[in-house]
Amino acid sequence: MSEAAIEVRGLTKAYGKVQAVAGVDLTIAAGEIFALLGPNGAGKTTTVEILEGYIKRDSGSVRVLGHDPAKNAIALKRRIGIVAQENSPDPFLTVREMVRMIAGTYPAPRPADEVIELVGLTDKARTRAGRLSGGQQRRLDVACALVGDPDLLFLDEPTTGFDPDARLEAWAMVRGLRDLGKTVLLTTHYMDEAQQLADRVAVIASGRIIAEGTPDTLGGRGHAASRIRFRRPTGGPPLPDTVAARATEQEGQVTLSIDDPVPLLNALTGWAIAHSIALEGLEVTRPSLEDTYLALIGADRAGGTA
């Protein structure tokens, strides 16, 4: 587990005057599910397509499973599986034919029917791919990516356009990949997806990695302040001093922010019980991954456009 599946140093790529990737460093351990987050145009797909061997980098060093994708493309492709964006199957081939077509390109593929079962398409094996729903086609994409029995999977926005049910199914499938010991590089702009699936995440903006960590600690999220919110009845008794000192109140909605919420909550609930106040809408929240992400992206936009 110590060997890195992906090792990237100082990666750059420009399209004309647009610097799509401006010095990316990235290390992804074998067996890890790693999510690359970022807004459209941040350099996510360009970075991933360089790792996959689709496009050539301008500079920097890249090792994927020990190969340089720009040099050993075929040797590398025997060990990776790709679920790309906008990747529809041949509509005139059945699910089984499609999987066999891809399987036949690998040296030691898994049996087609086994992979079809893994993605839950067994009852559609004889259906033409053109007649599958969007979610089923995406599962067929995953079957095609798995059939070569790769060590590393690239999933580029695998659930974009899915309904909530299909997304839950897809997540279960990706967790299954972890159990198979695969390394997964996932790109997404759904923060709940990264929170649910990823061991580690990195945020890319303007072609650079601006933060990296576990979903729970990204961007200092692990020790960020908690936020307490509740409604105070109009005309009620004044708040205890410790609470009032930190609170902002707007139309009865009290909000306060504190690193260690426990003593303050104790004071607050003691005050509420003493005055028989219900503390309507009481909530204690940590910043979500989405809050953290938006703050990081916002800071990048504010500072990076000079």
Site of interaction with other proteins (CB under 8 A): 52, 54, 74, 77-78, 80, 82, 84-90, 92-93, 97, 100-102, 104-107, 128, 144, 148
Q: Between 82 and 115, whose beta carbon lies closer to other proteins?
A: 82
Smallest separation, CB 104 to other proteins (Å): 4
Residue 205: closest CA among 295, 301, 287, 84 = 301
Smallest separation, CB 90 to other proteins (Å): 5
Q: Output the six-digit token pair for 182.
A: 């695969």
Smallest separation, CB 165 to other proteins (Å): 24
Q: Between 47 and 292, whose beta carbon lies closer to other proteins?
A: 47
Smallest separation, CB 81 to other proteins (Å): 8
Q: Check if the beta carbon of residue 68 is closer than 8 Å to that of residue 9.
A: no
Q: Between 152 and 264, whose beta carbon lies closer to other proteins?
A: 152
Q: Between 106 and 271, whose beta carbon lies closer to other proteins?
A: 106
Cα maximum dimension of the chain: 76
Positive or negative CA dihedral for 29, 160, 51, 8? negative
Chain centroid offset of residue 184 CA: 11
Residue 156: closest CA among 89, 85, 87 = 85
Smallest separation, CB 82 to other proteins (Å): 4
Q: Between 1 and 108, whose beta carbon lies closer to other proteins?
A: 108
Smallest separation, CB 264 to other proteins (Å): 51
Q: Check if the beta carbon of residue 6 is closer than 8 Å to that of residue 27.
A: yes
Between CA 112 and CA 135, with CA 176 as vertex, the angle to 5 degrees is: 65
> For every residue of 151-190, which 3-state class applies, written as one string?
CEEEEECCCCCCCHHHHHHHHHHHHHHHHCCCEEEEEECC
Determine whether 36 is exposed, middle or buried from the number of CB atoms within 10 Å of its CB (0-12, 13-18, 19+): buried
Determine whether 31 is exposed, middle or buried from the number of CB atoms within 10 Å of its CB (0-12, 13-18, 19+): middle
Which strand (E) or helix (H) includes residue 299? Answer: helix 289-304
Q: Between 82 and 186, whose beta carbon lies closer to other proteins?
A: 82
Q: Between 36 and 144, whose beta carbon lies closer to other proteins?
A: 144
Positive or negative CA dihedral for 186, 187, 189, 195? positive
Smallest separation, CB 88 to other proteins (Å): 4
